[in-house]
Structure 1
Amino acid sequence: MTDSAVTVPTDTRKDPLTWPFFGLVFLLLVPCWVGGALIDLPGLPKNAPVTDYVAGFTPALAAVLLTARAHGRAGVRELWRRGWDRRGTGWGWWVPVLLLSPFVYAVTYVLMQVTGARVLTQPAQGWLTVLLFVPVYALLAVGEELGWSGYATEPLQRRWGALRGSLALGAFWWLMHVPSIVRSGQDGTLVALGAFGAVFLRVLWVWIFNNTGGSVFAIIIAHTVANLSSSFVPSVPTAAAGPLVALLGLAVMALWDPATLTRFRGARSRRTGDTRPR
């Protein structure tokens, strides 16, 4: 009897729950954390350790390694293709993709000026630095979101639903930044605010992700804009925007169905029992 050919799926969205991915990201980050403690290069945007510009690629590296192991080169090509696929992102969703972070940091800046709140300031950056960091932050966003959005988001949602999956991913995402956050000199208040900001920002991004047909490209752009906004709005460190980000995230949680984040609470699914993100 002749065995029939078996086609190996290359869609990384069909992979099982991604705990090996999180473990591999952690292992890849350890040398970056050690290097960050040993190398001091002050004056970078957000007071970030220089090794952060290497650490940002660890999620993509982990995703590529695990995808290659499971699906070979075809799977890796599919993963990369998702990072550049703009289909499914309606024009209306480009508003939060492009304007969410500038809005958050501009409002936070105004509130800080009105209330007189003072937190750890960031190194001042000129416009030339801003322009130089556009491609840097775009590459770093690719390095992160091919892993977080392209590899991990959908398996987590299948296990726990959109809301709980995004909260879990946001918590891990923040934990992986803690050594760099501490290294940047932030105090306990900013660390706590940053935790809220990271977790709820991931909720907002998963909300965008699900409503754009699972567009990794849209989240790469949103991540790039977020890094630029948090680096160059005067005197507003990333964590300072945490309360406003949390407020927006809570609004999404209150209004949208937690199973999918694609329809309002109480709205009937187009198909009975269908809780998959669309």
Structure 2
Amino acid sequence: MPPSVVRFFVLACAITWPCQLPFLLQQWGAPIPVDVATAPLVLGAIGPSVAAAVCAWKEGGRGGLSGLLSPRRAPAGWAWAPLALCMPAMLHLAGLALLALAGGSMPATLLYAPVTPEQRGIAFLAPLGEELGFRGYALRRLLPARGPVLASLLVGAGWTLWHLPTMCLPGVPWWSWVLGPLFITSLSVLMTALHIRSGGSLLVAIAAHLGIHLDNVSRAHLSGDGAAPLLVTTIVAVAAAAVAARRMRAWEPAAAVAAAAGAA
């Protein structure tokens, strides 16, 4: 892995994890006031984008930072944004169809939309706070060096690791520790495929991430629906990612173009 990407992942976790620690401890019963515990969460949510900006500045100064923040992200590829936005719900609904065909009992909730102010806030903050880093910085540097499949897996591993504190919150079931990394990594592969086909559009990555929060199947246990929704959605996501990975092996030139478009 390129040293610049290693620095990015380390810095992203170094920013986010300490910001999430007071809230994590407070949720586990530590006598920390709610305001003190929640105040750093906004900074933690944008940790990857902050880390990307710092790393880009270190690499190229003002030019590197302006290149990272440039809005010129393959406008012709923006037509892929609606598909990206709907992709998480499509995976979920396909999983529910699979569950119905297998004779399983359907969950009470069809889609897990954000319902609380906190959930709505993170639904719109997370895509901006994460995608400039994970897809806008890390993926674009990994694509030329590692190819689309390995780059997707590496970003998926880093993306999973970055989420580690939220997986340690009380009430998170054991199956989330098994299915969560598989689901996140599968999404990483699918988002890389969309990234390449859109010519490196950051807007497409943001749309896909927003779609994840608009139907966040990882919250199924909070609705009392158990493991089935996340399980069947993960099965479909893994299958779709396997198909995408196979197709991406023939996309090496397009991956190089997508990476170059992001660096322009």
TM-score calculated relative to the size of structure 1: 0.72
2:209 to 181, 203, 223: 223
* Equivalent AA in structure 2 for residue 276 of structure 1: A
Number of equivalent positions? 238
1:56 to 36, 45, 64: 45
Structure 1's 249 and 52: CA in aligned 2 closer, same or farther, altered over 3 A?
farther
* Equivalent AA in structure 1 for residue 214 of structure 2: L
* Equivalent AA in structure 2 for residue 255 of structure 1: R
Higher helix proportion: 2
* Secondary structure in 2 matching 1:214: coil
Structure 1's 124 and 76: CA in aligned 2 closer, same or farther, altered over 3 A?
closer
* Equivalent AA in structure 1 for residue 182 of structure 2: F
In the alignment, which residue of structure 2 is the partner of 1:26? 13
The answer as to 2:84 corresponding to 1:104 is no
Q: Is the 8 A contact 2:142 2:151 kept in 1?
A: yes
Q: List gaps (5 residues or longer) in structure 1.
A: 1-14, 42-48, 263-274
* Secondary structure in 2 matching 1:39: helix
In the alignment, the residues of structure 1 paired with residue 112 and residue 85 of structure 2 have an alpha-carbon distance, to the nearest angstrom, of: 24
What RMSD over aligned residues (CA atoms) do the two structures have, in Å? 3.4
* Equivalent AA in structure 2 for residue 194 of structure 1: G
In the alignment, the residues of structure 1 paired with residue 176 and residue 216 of structure 2 have an alpha-carbon distance, to the nearest angstrom, of: 14
- Cα offset, 1:254, TM superposition: 2.7
- Cα offset, 1:90, TM superposition: 5.3
**Mapping of residues 11-22 of structure 1, within 5 Å:** 17-22=4-9
* Equivalent AA in structure 1 for residue 256 of structure 2: R
In the alignment, the residues of structure 1 paired with residue 106 and residue 181 of structure 2 have an alpha-carbon distance, to the nearest angstrom, of: 19
In the alignment, which residue of structure 1 is the partner of 2:249? 257
1:69 to 51, 58, 77: 58
In the alignment, the residues of structure 1 paired with residue 50 and residue 105 of structure 2 have an alpha-carbon distance, to the nearest angstrom, of: 43
- Cα offset, 1:206, TM superposition: 0.6
2:163 to 133, 152, 177: 177
TM-score calculated relative to the size of structure 2: 0.75
Relative contact order, higher structure (CA 8 A, sep 6+): 2
Q: List gaps (5 residues or longer) in structure 2.
A: 29-36, 259-264
Q: Is the 8 A contact 1:230 1:236 kept in 2?
A: no
Q: What is the percentage of aligned positions where both structures have the same residue?
A: 22
**Mapping of residues 87-236 of structure 1, within 5 Å:** 87-89=75-77, 91=79, 93-111=80-98, 114-116=103-105, 126=115, 129=116, 134=120, 136-230=122-216, 235=225
* Secondary structure in 1 matching 2:57: helix
In the alignment, the residues of structure 2 paired with residue 57 and residue 167 of structure 1 have an alpha-carbon distance, to the nearest angstrom, of: 22
Structure 1's 195 and 19: CA in aligned 2 closer, same or farther, altered over 3 A?
same
Structure 1's 21 and 213: CA in aligned 2 closer, same or farther, altered over 3 A?
same
* Secondary structure in 1 matching 2:252: coil
- Cα offset, 1:110, TM superposition: 5.0
- Cα offset, 1:17, TM superposition: 4.0
Structure 1's 52 and 112: CA in aligned 2 closer, same or farther, altered over 3 A?
farther
Structure 1's 261 and 230: CA in aligned 2 closer, same or farther, altered over 3 A?
farther
In the alignment, the residues of structure 2 paired with residue 60 and residue 125 of structure 1 have an alpha-carbon distance, to the nearest angstrom, of: 23
In the alignment, the residues of structure 2 paired with residue 208 and residue 164 of structure 1 have an alpha-carbon distance, to the nearest angstrom, of: 15
